[in-house]
């Protein structure tokens, strides 16, 4: 099961990865076709053979930065998970938040924290862009779909992830998202090992 956006007009299938420019991508696709041709679907199964002629794409982000962005947006800015007041205060401590996420089934939890590899059909993907190279990579998608590449409004730009994490915090986040690091950002794995 995946979180999809179906773009029947451009014959595209977008595997949504949350906290990876998803609002920006959604707005651009939605505005280039009418509402009947674009469906922002929820978690559902799909049959790859039905979309063999569709351009299937997704974007990934450094798991550490995505994690910090989720914490800042969903926990510091809002009580997204509706914790009690006392628990919410505790969750504002990054170490407590890491411990809480560490107990989740990272491949089947809330989409903002779920592993990226579980959100994408990696076997049937045609293009995988990177958040760190978003302007360039999203242009490739837009060119492929013949969508004019102008006036892209970047959403959630106010969420900065610059945070001086300790080695222990980075290691704990790495262990939670180990598979994402190994698949999408293997050079970061070695960097962490070199720092130990």
Looking at residue 103, its pLDDT comes to: 97
Whole-angstrom distance, CA of residue 79 vs CA of residue 85 = 9
Residue 151: pLDDT band (50, 70, 90) is low
Looking at residue 112, its pLDDT comes to: 95
Looking at residue 150, its pLDDT comes to: 74
Between the CA of residue 10 and those of 87, 102, 126, 132, what are the distances in Å?
45, 39, 14, 25
0.85 cut: is pTM over it?
yes
Grouping H, G, I as helix, E, B as strand and the rest as coil, residue 151 is: coil
Residues above pLDDT 70, as percent of the chain: 90
Looking at residue 190, its pLDDT comes to: 64
In the structure encoding, which two tokens stand for residue 108, read together? Answer: 């089947």
Whole-angstrom distance, CA of residue 6 vs CA of residue 190 = 37
Looking at residue 76, its pLDDT comes to: 87
The helix (H) or strand (E) run that includes residue 60 is strand 55-60
Looking at residue 34, its pLDDT comes to: 82
DSSP character for 77? S
Looking only at the bridges linking them, the beta strands covering 127-130 and 38-44 are: unpaired
pLDDT tens readout for residues 8-39: 999 999 999 999 999 999 999 999 888 889 99
Residue 160: pLDDT band (50, 70, 90) is low
Whole-angstrom distance, CA of residue 120 vs CA of residue 140 = 18
130: β partners:
60
Grouping H, G, I as helix, E, B as strand and the rest as coil, residue 154 is: coil
Mean pLDDT value of segment 69-77: 90
Mean pLDDT value of segment 113-122: 97
DSSP character for 113? T
pLDDT above 80 for 164: yes
């Amino acid at each position: 099961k995946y979180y999809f956006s179906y773009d029947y007009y451009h014959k595209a299938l977008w595997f949504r990865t949350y906290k990876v420019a998803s609002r920006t991508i959604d707005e651009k696709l939605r505005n280039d076709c009418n509402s009947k041709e674009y469906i922002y679907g929820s978690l559902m199964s799909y049959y790859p053979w039905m979309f063999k002629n569709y351009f299937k794409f997704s974007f990934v982000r450094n798991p550490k930065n995505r994690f910090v962005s989720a914490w800042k947006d969903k926990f510091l800015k809002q009580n997204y998970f509706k914790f009690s007041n006392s628990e919410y205060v505790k969750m504002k401590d990054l170490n407590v938040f890491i411990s809480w996420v560490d107990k989740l089934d990272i491949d089947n939890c809330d989409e903002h924290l779920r592993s990226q590899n579980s959100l994408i059909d990696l076997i049937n993907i045609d293009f995988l862009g990177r958040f760190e190279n978003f302007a360039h990579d999203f242009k490739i998608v837009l060119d492929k779909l013949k969508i004019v590449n102008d006036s892209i409004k970047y959403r959630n730009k106010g969420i900065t992830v610059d945070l001086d994490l300790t080695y222990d915090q980075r290691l704990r986040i790495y262990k939670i998202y180990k598979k994402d690091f190994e698949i999408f950002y293997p050079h970061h794995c070695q960097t962490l090992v070199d720092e130990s």
